[in-house]
Chains A and B, each alone.
Chain A
Amino acid sequence: MEQYDIAIIGGGGAGLTAALYSARARRRTVVFEGEVTGGQIATTDIVENYPGFPDGINGFDLAQLFHRQAEKFGAETAYERVERLQRQPDGGFELGTAERTIRARAVIVTAGAAYNKLGVPGEAELTGRGVSYCGTCDAAFFTGMDVIVVGGGDSALDEGMFVARYARSVNVVHRRDTLRASAILQERAFATPNMRFTWNSVVERIEGEGQVERAVLRNVKTGEVSVVPISAVFIFIGQTPNNHLLEGLVELDASGHAIVDLQMRTRVPGLFVAGDLRTQAARQLISAAGDGATAAIAAEHYLADLDRQGPTAK
């Protein structure tokens, strides 16, 4: 069975930074990239708030640079989804994927969060047929068409403005009458000529034969129901932490995020959680990367302590 010093679950900003630090500490390191889509950053058109790139940088390109930097120092990549994480009697960990089982002396979980679904009729059936969770991926298919964007946070506006470059009109449907998004994004969105807002409204149903043709909206204040002919529904309504590997192993907060200390340590020795999956995360690339570095340094201290105690304590 393959034996690593440090296994990292998740290849986003936190995971790849942890891999960089672990590899540079000369620990045998593997990053599992099957759980999240290489990180949420990979689908971001332009990252403008990561220091060092004053003109912004494409999210996928930045993720590739993170990846290359980690591999340069010897981190291995596995495109497998970790389905099982177990602590062993000797204090080490066993990780199972569909293909194999490996062992690691320390584990850093950076599995992040997954985009929420609306959970309305038509959504699942029409996914890939006009229902989308990635504006930068699918906007071009709706050139010159009318579309809806659901949500009121940074992602909804950011992706909505990207979609607006292609679509004839973008109607942002938000269940409240104010946006949660940052001020600069709101300013830009309100100034985007083909973008408009439908406040206090939710999507009740998505309909169409083989592809999205219309959405049924309901005003939550007045109860008024309207049918809007559109070709696509882009959905950005928050995230749910990818915590299933941690259940029963570490303490979770009320929203399902892992409770860690300032060194990203969980209550299980040798098990660390960093990035969007941890409690009270700022959910930014820079803070995820910072978390990853902190966790890797703490993991290195943990392993160094074990090494000092001698091979029997391993």
Chain B
Amino acid sequence: MAEVREVTDATWDSDVLKSDLPVLVDFWAPWCGPCRMVAPIVQELSEEYAGKVNFMKMNTDENPMVPSKFGIRSIPSLLIFKGGELKGTVVGFRPKSDLKKRIDEALV
């Protein structure tokens, strides 16, 4: 089963920017209700896109640098990276079908 791994400020470059596969990063925090609703959907997506997209999550409470660099002011936020570049942003809770559409658009 594909696992949604934690990425941190320290591992950001190697895990996300230098990843061979596109990466979706779920920015979340433990006190954010909608974030906890997004989590099972991201988990399902990670299984459906296994081998095509890596799925990671970043705790914005513990990692101040990356969220501030990307101007994240609202969570949940999902950012999609390909070849080290930001290709798509989804702010707030969206249904799974919307997320798939956004991922597919970012992969083109």
B33, B76, B91: the one contacting A136 at CB < 8 Å is: B33
Within 8 A of A (CB), among B1-47: 29, 31-37, 40-41, 44
Q: Enumerate chain B residues within 8 angstroms of A63, measured Cβ to Cβ.
A: 33
What's the least CB distance linking B60 to chain A, in Å?
8
**Contacts A38-B34, A42-B37 supplied; 19 other A-B pairs, CB < 8 Å:** A34-B96, A38-B93, A42-B34, A44-B33, A60-B37, A80-B95, A80-B96, A80-B97, A81-B95, A98-B97, A127-B92, A128-B77, A129-B74, A132-B74, A134-B34, A134-B92, A136-B33, A140-B61, A210-B71
- A138-B74 contact in complex given A37-B34, A79-B40, C-beta closer than 8 Å: yes
Q: Enumerate chain A residues within 8 angstroms of B106, measured Cβ to Cβ.
A: none
Q: Does A99 contact B (CB under 8 A)?
A: yes
- A141-B73 contact in complex given A42-B33, A128-B91, A136-B32, C-beta closer than 8 Å: yes
Q: Does A130 contact B (CB under 8 A)?
A: yes
Contact B73 A137, beta carbon cutoff 8 Å: no
Contact B36 A60, beta carbon cutoff 8 Å: yes
Contact A211 B97, beta carbon cutoff 8 Å: no
Q: Does A43 contact B (CB under 8 A)?
A: yes
Q: Enumerate chain B residues within 8 angstroms of A34, measured Cβ to Cβ.
A: 95-97
| Residues of B bordering A, CB below 8 Å | 29, 31-37, 40-41, 44, 60-61, 71-77, 89, 91-93, 95-98
Q: Does A151 contact B (CB under 8 A)?
A: no
Q: Enumerate chain B residues within 8 angstroms of A97, measured Cβ to Cβ.
A: 97
B29, B44, B73, B92: the one contacting A211 at CB < 8 Å is: B73
What's the least CB distance linking B46 to chain A, in Å?
14
Contact B33 A60, beta carbon cutoff 8 Å: yes
- A127-B36 contact in complex given A79-B44, A79-B96, A99-B97, C-beta closer than 8 Å: no
A63 nearest in chain B by CB position = B33
CA distance A129 to B72 in the complex (A): 7
Q: Enumerate chain A residues within 8 angstroms of B89, measured Cβ to Cβ.
A: 128
A97 nearest in chain B by CB position = B97
Within 8 A of B (CB), among A55-110: 58-60, 63-64, 79-81, 97-99
A37, A138, A212: the one contacting B93 at CB < 8 Å is: A37
Q: Does A260 contact B (CB under 8 A)?
A: no
- A232-B73 contact in complex given A37-B34, A43-B34, A60-B36, C-beta closer than 8 Å: yes
Contact A138 B73, beta carbon cutoff 8 Å: yes
Q: Enumerate chain B residues within 8 angstroms of A128, measured Cβ to Cβ.
A: 72-74, 77, 89, 91-92
Q: Enumerate chain B residues within 8 angstroms of A37, measured Cβ to Cβ.
A: 34, 37, 93
A-B CB proximity, top 5 nearest: A128-B91, A98-B97, A60-B33, A34-B95, A81-B95
B44 nearest in chain A by CB position = A79
Contact A127 B72, beta carbon cutoff 8 Å: no
Q: Enumerate chain A residues within 8 angstroms of B98, measured Cβ to Cβ.
A: 81
A58, A81, A141: the one contacting B97 at CB < 8 Å is: A81
Q: Per-residue 0/1 for A136-178: is the Cβ within 8 Å of any B Cβ (1 yes, 0 no)?
A: 1110111000000000000000000000000000000000000
CA distance A38 to B89 in the complex (A): 21
CA distance A60 to B76 in the complex (A): 14
What's the least CB distance linking B96 to chain A, in Å?
5
A-B contact pairs, 13 of them (CB 8 A): A58-B33, A60-B37, A79-B44, A80-B95, A81-B98, A127-B74, A128-B91, A129-B71, A138-B73, A140-B29, A141-B74, A211-B71, A232-B73
CA distance A22 to B55 in the complex (A): 36
A32 nearest in chain B by CB position = B95
Contact B95 A137, beta carbon cutoff 8 Å: no
B96 nearest in chain A by CB position = A79
CA distance A136 to B29 in the complex (A): 11
B99 nearest in chain A by CB position = A79
Q: Enumerate chain B residues within 8 angstroms of A134, measured Cβ to Cβ.
A: 32, 34, 74, 92
